[in-house]
């Protein structure tokens, strides 16, 4: 079975976790596939937006405990945790932040542990109100180690981040929206994500890449954000798509060139 199902249409890629029999739990193989897929999408200059979702009305029930507890995987996991740089467990999620296009998570069913960390790596999160969510790692005697310390930063206060992490409490998407973990609620999250993606796709692909990088720097590298504003604006003014954007504003039939940057 293909671990990720990918559909592309009009510059929008829908990437679906495809382990329905396991409630889309994250196996080591799925983590590797997430990295491979994101790296491939990163090179696609026709891409405008990515939607992350899960098959069988479930986003992800978290890490695959059978994989995690398998003695054959212990040496691999130990090496990933001690080697320099990002581990596979971090890269599989943070790589989506590195995409030069917006990433939207469309969530329903369960969004636990590793699933939660994948959703947090998206730029925008849309959830069904009944979606069950949890930063669940402490329940298994573990700490969130899939980039949560970066992806959660700025979304909620440190005290609340600690409370949810320490308790591993399960909460619904209504509460997540209230505290800022979810951007929008929708009865059909994927449909709403597609509508939003189509709206985003009407903008210059280079402007999308620039805005994502500048706004991420505002949160994670504030000392660089002002310089990035200037650098990106100069690149955009010299590029093709900025000129096309001004033409498109008067004539919606104008189409953008593939992403230049």
pLDDT tens figures, 134-177: 999 999 999 999 999 999 999 999 999 999 999 999 999 999 99
pLDDT for the residue numbered 70: 87
- For the stretch 37-83, pLDDT in tens is 999 999 999 999 999 999 999 999 999 988 888 888 888 888 888 99
Q: In the predicted model, what is the mean pLDDT of residues 212-234?
A: 96
Tell me the HSE value of 213 on the side-chain side, using a 13 A CA sphere.
19
Q: In the predicted model, what is the mean pLDDT of residues 182-206?
A: 98
pLDDT for the residue numbered 67: 87
pLDDT for the residue numbered 65: 87
Q: Does position 1 have pLDDT exceeding 80, yes or no? A: no
The mean pLDDT value of the chain amounts to 96
Q: Does position 242 have pLDDT exceeding 80, yes or no? A: yes
Q: In the predicted model, what is the mean pLDDT of residues 84-95?
A: 95
pLDDT for the residue numbered 14: 98
């Amino acid at each position: 079975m293909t671990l990720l199902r990918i559909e592309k249409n009009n510059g929008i890629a829908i990437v679906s976790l495809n382990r329905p029999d396991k409630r889309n739990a994250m196996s080591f193989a799925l983590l590797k596939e997430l990295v491979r897929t994101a790296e491939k999408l990163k090179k696609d200059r026709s891409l405008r937006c990515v939607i992350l979702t899960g098959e069988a009305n479930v986003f992800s029930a978290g890490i695959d405990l059978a994989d995690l507890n398998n003695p054959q995987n212990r040496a691999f996991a130990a090496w990933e945790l001690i080697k320099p740089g990002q581990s596979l467990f971090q890269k599989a999620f943070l790589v989506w932040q590195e995409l030069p296009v917006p990433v939207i998570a469309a969530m329903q069913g369960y969004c636990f542990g590793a699933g939660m960390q994948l959703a947090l790596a998206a730029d925008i999160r849309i959830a069904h109100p009944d979606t069950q969510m949890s930063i669940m790692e402490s329940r298994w005697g573990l700490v969130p180690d899939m980039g949560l310390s970066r992806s959660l930063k700025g979304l909620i206060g440190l005290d609340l981040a600690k409370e949810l992490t320490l308790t591993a409490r399960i909460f619904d998407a209504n509460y997540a929206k209230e505290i800022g973990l979810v951007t929008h609620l929708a009865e059909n999250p994927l449909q709403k994500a597609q509508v939003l993606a189509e709206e985003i796709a009407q903008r210059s692909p280079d402007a999308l890449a620039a805005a994502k990088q500048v706004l991420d720097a505002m949160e994670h590298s504030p000392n660089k954000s002002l310089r990035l504003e200037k650098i990106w604006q100069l690149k955009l003014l010299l590029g093709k798509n900025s000129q096309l954007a001004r033409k498109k504003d008067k004539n919606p039939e104008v189409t953008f060139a593939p992403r230049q940057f």
